[in-house]
């Protein structure tokens, strides 16, 4: 009876560990654009999750970044119309089955800076 209980406990522990590693290690694609409505900075710089290197994105361009896990931060730096440098930091979540798009030109707007869409799987005929 003890061996069955011990083996069952090990199997449950391994399954829990497998689920945790799957969720925390899953890589997500994040699309970053620099397209504003009234003002778009010529150059914007961003860092995702405190990476060492800053990435530059030009006006009206789109880039794709890959992130692992669920909770992330993005720091964006650009110059406004008056030439003042603005630095904004935001937190976001990446869940399974979502397409995430971040607009660095709208990063100051609380609601419109990020869009999340459900990814629909194609049905086989």
pLDDT in tens, 57-91: 999 999 999 988 889 999 999 998 888 999 999 99
110 pLDDT more than 90: no
Q: What is the pTM for the complete model shown?
A: 0.76
For residue range 11-50, list pLDDT tens digits in order: 999 999 998 888 777 788 899 999 988 888 999 999 999 8
Band (pLDDT 50/70/90 cuts) for residue 125 is: low
The pairing of beta strand 27-33 with beta strand 98-103: parallel
120 pLDDT more than 90: no
Section 89-114 average pLDDT: 89
Classify residue 94 by its DSSP letter.
Answer: -
pLDDT at 122 (0 to 100): 64
- Cβ within 8 Å of residue 85, ≥6 positions away: 77, 78, 79
Tokens of 24: 């925390």
pLDDT at 38 (0 to 100): 83
What is the chain's mean pLDDT, rounded?
89
């Amino acid at each position: 009876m003890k061996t069955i209980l011990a083996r069952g406990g090990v199997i449950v522990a391994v399954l829990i560990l497998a689920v945790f590693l799957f969720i925390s290690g899953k890589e997500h694609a994040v699309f970053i654009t620099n397209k504003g409505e009234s003002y778009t900075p010529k150059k914007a710089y961003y860092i995702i999750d405190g990476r060492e290197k800053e990435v530059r994105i030009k006006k009206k361009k789109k880039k794709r970044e890959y992130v692992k896990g669920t909770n992330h931060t993005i720091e964006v730096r650009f110059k406004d119309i008056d030439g003042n440098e603005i630095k904004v930091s935001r937190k976001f979540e990446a869940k399974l089955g979502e397409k995430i798009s971040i607009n660095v030109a709208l990063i100051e707007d609380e609601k419109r800076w990020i869009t999340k869409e459900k990814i629909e799987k194609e049905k086989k005929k």
